[in-house]
């Protein structure tokens, strides 16, 4: 089963994707993570990507579709893929549909995570990530344990994202509403859209998602 997690920056896509990986053995394909990896490569493409991401704009469709194509061509996800942060434009959605049909697969559920804008600001400004395993924390809602060690891997190094500042977030939100939100209608008419309350507690959101994954399609 392949699913898409759709939602604005800070909605909880990455958090829920990691839970699904752990609980169901699915494979997370996060274009944000792939691009952050590319920017550390020091290549010309990496430098261009870094500039665009830090400002909060979308990277070109060609680049992200290329990254997903590579992963789908080389991958074997028996537990299914979780597309996290992809697709983000109608062109990316069309490309994903084609790429999946080439390997005889499809998207079963598109989970839209609904969260108010004011909450998103608090979510991204309090976020930190384990530098070693990528576990996501929040200063208030999911604090790093008192001993300073990641609950998953024990590392003591945590990072904050360069684009998690008020100005970039404003641009990221605008990009979401302008370029990504049309996908809600696109998948609604394809009978794939399922909505969850992203304001609920992390475990409750997971329960809502599980309800769709385990229920009738």
Would you name the residues annotated as active-site residues? 13, 88, 127, 161, 172
145-184 mask for ligand AP5 (x: CB under 6 A)? ------------------x--------x------------
- Choosing from 2, 3, 6, 13, the residue that interacts with ligand AP5 (CB under 6 A) is 13
Contact between 16 and 206 under an 8 Å Cβ cutoff? The reply is yes
Sequence-distant contacts of 16-24: CB under 8 A, at least 24 apart: 16/111, 16/113, 16/202, 16/205, 16/206, 16/209, 17/82, 17/84, 18/134, 18/135, 18/136, 19/202, 19/206, 20/82, 20/209, 21/82, 23/206, 24/79, 24/80, 24/213
Residue among 7, 20, 93, 194 that touches ligand AP5 (CB under 6 A): 7
135 binds ligand AP5 (CB under 6 A): no
Stretch that binds ligand AP5, among 9-17, 72-80, 104-112, 143-151 (CB under 6 A): 9-17
Question: How near is the Cβ of 192 to ligand AP5 at its closest, in Å?
Answer: 18
Residue numbers 102-121 binding ligand AP5 by CB under 6 A: none
18 marked as part of a ligand binding site: no
Name the residue among 64, 87, 63, 81 with its Cα closest to residue 180: 87
The binder of ligand AP5 chosen from 136, 144, 195, 210 (CB under 6 A):
136
How far is the C-alpha of 182 from the C-alpha of 2, rounded, in Å? Answer: 20
Q: Is 137 in the site for ligand AP5 (CB under 6 A)?
A: yes
Residue 14 in marked binding region? yes
Contacts (Cβ under 8 Å, ≥6 apart) of 24: 79, 80, 213
Taking the complex as a whole, how short is the minimal distance between the CB of residue 149 and Zn ion, in angstroms? 8
Annotated binding-site members for Zn(2+): 130, 133, 150, 153
Annotated binding-site members for AMP: 31, 36, 57-59, 85-88, 92, 161, 172
């Amino acid at each position: 089963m392949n699913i898409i997690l759709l939602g604005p920056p800070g909605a909880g896509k990455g958090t829920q994707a990691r839970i699904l990986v752990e609980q169901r053995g699915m494979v997370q394909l996060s274009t944000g993570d792939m691009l952050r990896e590319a920017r550390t490569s020091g290549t010309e493409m990496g430098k261009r990507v870094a500039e665009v991401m830090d400002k909060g704009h979308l990277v070109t469709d060609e680049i992200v579709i290329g990254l997903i194509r590579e992963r789908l061509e080389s991958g074997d996800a028996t537990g299914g893929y979780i597309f996290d942060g992809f697709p983000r434009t109608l062109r990316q959605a069309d490309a994903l549909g084609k790429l999946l049909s080439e390997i005889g697969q499809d998207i079963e559920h598109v989970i839209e995570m609904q969260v108010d804008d004011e909450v998103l600001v608090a979510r991204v400004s309090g976020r930190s990530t384990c530098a070693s395993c990528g576990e996501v924390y929040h200063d208030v809602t999911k604090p790093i344990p008192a001993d300073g060690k990641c609950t998953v891997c024990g590392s003591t190094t945590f990072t904050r994202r360069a684009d998690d500042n008020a100005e970039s977030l404003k641009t990221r939100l605008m990009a979401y509403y302008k370029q990504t939100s049309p996908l809600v209608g696109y998948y609604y008419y394809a009978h794939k859209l399922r909505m969850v309350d992203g304001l609920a507690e992390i475990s409750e959101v997971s329960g809502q998602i599980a309800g769709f994954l385990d229920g009738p399609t």
